[in-house]
Amino acid sequence: MISDQLATAPWLMWFSIAGVTLFLIMAFNALAAVYVERKVSAFVQDRVGPMGQGAGLHAGKWGLLQTVADAVKLLTKEDIIPRAADRKLFIMAPFVIFIGAFISIAALPFSSIIQVIDVNIGIFYILATSSLGVIGLILAGWSSENKWSLYGAMRSAAQIVSYEIPAALSIIVVIMITSTLNLQGIVEAQGGIVWGFLPNWIVFNNPFAFLAFFTYFIAGVAETNRTPFDIPEAESELVGGFHTEYSGMRWAFFFLSEYANMFVVCGIASVTFLGGWQSPIPGFMNSPFWGLFWFMSKVLFLMFIMIWFRWTFPRLRVDQLMSVAWKYLLPISLINIFGVGLWILLVGA
């Protein structure tokens, strides 16, 4: 009876629809991003990447179905759990990471009308949820009963906790300028023109905000564990890092979460600094559906830059990684806050 009532309750229906949609977005994002990653890496490295040549349909035209084939392969693989592993935690870990990314995407404003939950402390919420993933990483590293995994987990815990701070401090700059924590409010505050010709995005608002954008983006790359900050899974040192012992679909969930995290970090960057769904030319193509287009193009552009980083840079060492966070990014973001405060006082937001 109670279940009947629950099933007919409109909020539950909407939540299920939203959940399924979000999952599809994440899955499609991962499929597309992996394909782009492989193609971009191939072009960077003077190769062609996945191609569908030869007789029959191998991987579609230009290898477009390659990631689909990979996904099918991962789904049908044997599920291996090491005998020494802590079974419960081992099974739980990929989902914990996944949930962190999943509930963060829910609060991202895809356009002025497309958003799953519009919370009034949106930015705060996303910062909190996107760091949930680290619990999953530690669980995975600990439960695998493998020294490499443990190293990977310890490194990633230290790394993510360190880089949260400059990331959050850079976001404070945005909050100071827009004086709201609501993501829609932040985007709405970025309409119009500044300096005569530039869109009124926060990145162009003042020099300190410009710097804050880069601080946030670097910290964001580190939070997603990507090169040059990919030490938790450094394949040439730690074999696979925290996911060494994972295979098949469980491993795919780590992968899915990695790309979902990239999406979240780039999403936050474009919402807070690059005007979210605002058009680059104010007033031009600014309807809610074009807003989706603008938001997605900003996010995908930033994701492309992350991919570009990965195939260009070597990897930092664990202590150098820490010094980047604490010795450079942290002071810079503190100076940014101070500078933006002065700017608001003297020039106005």
Q: Name the residues that contact another protein, by CB under 8 A.
A: 41, 44-47, 147, 151, 227-228, 230-231, 234-237, 239, 311-320
Beta strands in 116-246 (DSSP E): 193-194, 198-199
Cβ neighbourhood burial of 268 (10 Å; 0-12, 13-18, 19+): buried
Nearer Cβ to another protein (4/46): 46
What is the smallest separation between the CB atom of 307 and another protein, expressed in angstroms?
12
CB of 58 to another protein, least distance (A): 22
* Whole-angstrom distance, CA of residue 335 vs CA of residue 191: 26
Q: Which DSSP state fits 77?
A: S
Reference 114, options 201, 187, 171, 216; nearest CA is 187
Question: How far apart are CB 4 and another protein at their closest, in Å?
Answer: 55
What gap in Å lies between CA 327 and CA 320, rounded to an integer? 10
Q: Which is nearer to another protein, 247 or 320 (CB)?
A: 320
Looking at residue 120, the DSSP 8-state letter turns out to be T
Task: Choose between 105 and 234: whose C-beta lies nearer to another protein.
Answer: 234
| Closest CB to another protein among residues 136, 228 | 228
Q: Which is nearer to another protein, 238 or 340 (CB)?
A: 238
Q: Which lies closer to another protein via its Cβ, residue 98 or residue 148?
A: 148
- DSSP category for residue 61: G
* Phi, psi for 18 (deg, rounded to 5): -60, -40
Q: Return the number of the residue (86 or 237) whose C-beta is nearest another protein.
A: 237
Q: How many CB atoms lie within 10 A of CB 20?
A: 10
CA–CA separation, 123 and 133 (whole Å): 17
C-alpha to C-alpha distance for 262 and 267, rounded to whole angstroms: 8
Question: CA angle, corner 14, sides to 12 and 18, nearest 5?
Answer: 115
At its nearest, how many Å lie between another protein and the CB of residue 154?
8
Residue 250 beta carbon to another protein: minimum distance, rounded to whole angstroms: 21
Helices 207-223, 330-346: inter-axial angle, 10-degree rounding: 150
In whole angstroms, the minimum distance from the beta carbon of 257 to another protein comes to: 21
Can you give the length of the chain in residues? 349
The distance of closest approach from Cβ of residue 332 to another protein in the complex, given in angstroms and rounded to an integer, is 17
